[in-house]
Amino acid sequence: MLQGRQTWVFESKPVIAGSAAVGGPFESKCALADDFDMFSEDLWLGQDSFEKAERKLLEHACEIAIKKAGVKKEDVEFFFSGDLINQIISSSFTARTLGIPYLGIFGACSSSVEGLALASILVDGNFANNALAATSSHNAACEKQYRYPTEYGAQKPPTAQWTVTGAGAALVAREGEGPRVVCATIGRVVDMGLSDPFNMGAAMAPAAVDTISAHMRDLNIDLSDYDIIATGDLGRVGHEIAKELLKKHGISLPEEKFTDCGKIIYKDEQPVFSGGSGCGCAAVTTYGHFINRMKKGELKKILVVATGALLSPMSYQQKEFIPCIAHAVSLEM
C-alpha cells in the first residue's frame, strides 16, 4: 500500500527468513567480522579476474541465504540483484548460475535496499512466496573501474573510502523466523553539484537526508521508535554532513541511534580513509551485523537507508556532476 508520496507499507510484513554476509581477506579483520558467514582467503577466489571473483562472492552469499532460510533453490521464484561492474555482470552471471528468474537492478550502493524493497513488495502483493535480494562489490574490480587500478598506487585524500569486498543476500518470504520488513521509502535523485569521485560521502549525504525526511513525512512519525537509523556508506565525512543537514531540517538524532555502515564496518586501525563503501557495504552490515543483533534481541526496530552515487566513468569523463539516491527500509523483530 502506498502511503504518502514515496513509501510502501507492507501489510503482511514479509519476513527475512535467511540472510548471509560474505567477505574478502581484508574484511576478515574488520570490526564486524564475527557477523560474517564466510570469508575468502584471497581476493581472487580461485578465479582469473577480480570481476569473476566478485561473482563467486555473490554466488556464495545467495546460496548461504537460501540454505539458512530452509528452502530449496527451486522454491525461490524471483532474484533481484545489482552491482557496480559495467552492465551489472556480477549479478547477471550469478543469475545464470542460480537459474532463478531474474530482475537486474542498478542503484549503485543503494542496490541492497532497492532489491530488498522490490522483493518485499512482490511477497506482500502475493506475486511470490520467496524472493531473493542480493548485491556485491569487490575492492580491486571497482577501484580500477571508477578510479585507478590498485597497482597504480595513486595517493588518495582523507575523504576517499574503501570499497568493501563482500556480498550480502536476503531471502524474503511469507513465513519464517526473522526480522519483518515493515515498509520502504523510495528515494529521489538528488544532485548538489559535486563531482569529486574521492568524496562520495559528501555527494550522497543530501540524498540520505531527503529520504529520511520523506520517510518521516509519509508516515507522519518521528524517529524515536527506531533503535538504530543507519545510512549506507557515507563514511565519517558524509556522516557528519548528514548530521548537520538533518539539524537544518529540524531533525536531531542522538549519536547512539544514528550511525553509518561505512563508518562502523572497519576498525579504526584499518587504512580505509573515511570508511567503507561499495554495494557490499550496506549489504553485509545489514544482512550480517544488524540482523544478527535483531535476532539476539539487542535491536527491535531499525531503519536502513542505503545510499548510492549514480555516476559512471563515462559521465565523469563528460564532466557531469554526481547524482545520488537513497532508499530506506524499516525492519522490526
The per-type count for the chain, helices as H runs and strands as E runs, is: 10, 15
Rounded to whole angstroms, the Cα distance separating 292 from 228 reads 14
Report yes or no on whether pTM surpasses 0.85: yes
Of the candidates 232, 258, 226, the residue with the CA atom closest to the CA atom of residue 245: 258
What would the mean pLDDT of 271-295 be, rounded to a whole number?
98
Rounded to whole angstroms, the Cα distance separating 257 from 270 reads 24
pLDDT > 90 in the chain, percent: 93
The CA distances from residue 157 to 27, 163, 177, 198, 271, in Å, are 22, 15, 44, 7, 12
For residue 232 the three cell numbers come to 549506507
The pLDDT value given to residue 316: 84
User: Which structural domains are found in the chain, ordered by start?
Assistant: 2-173 (3.40.47.40), 180-332 (3.40.47.40)
Strands 15-23 and 162-163: unpaired
Q: What letter would DSSP give residue 287?
A: I
**Residue type, position 262, single letter:** G
- Taking only the tens place, the pLDDT of each residue in 229-276 is 999 999 999 999 999 999 999 998 998 999 999 999 999 999 999 999
Of the candidates 172, 210, 7, the residue with the CA atom closest to the CA atom of residue 78: 172
What would the mean pLDDT of 66-91 be, rounded to a whole number?
97
